[in-house]
Amino acid sequence: MKNIEDKKPRYIAGVIAPLGPDRHPMSQPEPLLPPDVRRISCSIEISDYTKSGVDEAIENRYWGCVDQLAAQGANSISLSGFPIASQLGRTRLLELLKETAERTGVFADAQSEATVDAMRYLGMRRIAIASRWSHELNDKLVAYLASAGFEVLAVTSVGQWAKQAFSMSIEEGVKLAFQLGREAMRKAPDADGLLLPGGAWRSLAAVPILEEDFGKPVVTNPIAQVWRLISNGVAPPVRGWGRLLANGGPQ
């Protein structure tokens, strides 16, 4: 009898990650997906989330990753990392996704755009952001979201760049997600919901608890990436991890 992993997947979700698992063992969304939906990844090995670091990684390694994922049979290709999208700016990112779709013939996406659509689906327009990023990255993030029609009422910071984010332990990341999530909502109690941008701090466990604490929806870009597959009919809703994943969304 063949193992599940030996069977041909029904759907292959390609992900372009900031770093490879040897340098950045990010929390993977596979446990939230059915076994016949496989996630494959390629890394652009970003040096830092500075503008020069993002530009260098995109210009020199993005298209190589696109071609690699397409050659592996990816049915969709998604760019991870809100700091990357924020430094690119929304206009440039959307142009990049359009070119990716034209080049490969598959659905091209980004965690940032999945997050935008997820927050719209949940009725979030005025938002609080629990960010650990530097003020420079936060300014770029706020500008990105403003260009998508969101009003940011509050944003936190602990001054992180890529090096600090990738070096956090799981315990540190989870603790920080709760701390900053509660700080952001205290600063903006009238917000429609809370955004926890970034994938390195293992924030999934914080989502249902923060939603219960404040009675507002909570979104992270890694779960928005999973929600995109749910909303496209690729995967079923997942209960127990917050409002977003429990709802299928428009198809």
The domain segmentation of the chain, as residue ranges, is 4-112, 114-222
Q: Give the chain's residues under pLDDT 50.
A: 1-4, 25-29
221, containing H or E segment: helix 221-231
- Report the pLDDT value the prediction gives residue 81, as an integer from 0 to 100: 87
pTM above 0.75, yes or no: yes
Identify the CATH number of the domain defined by range 4-112. 3.40.50.12500
Q: C-alpha angle 172/42/117, rounded to 5°?
A: 70
Q: What is the pLDDT of residue 28?
A: 46
Measuring CA to CA, how many Å separate 5 from each of 2, 11, 227, 229? 8, 13, 22, 19
CATH pick for 114-222 out of 3.40.50.12500, 3.40.50.720, 3.30.1700.10, 3.90.700.10: 3.40.50.12500
Rg (CA), the chain: 17
181-214 confidence digits (pLDDT tens) = 999 999 999 999 999 987 655 677 889 999 999 9
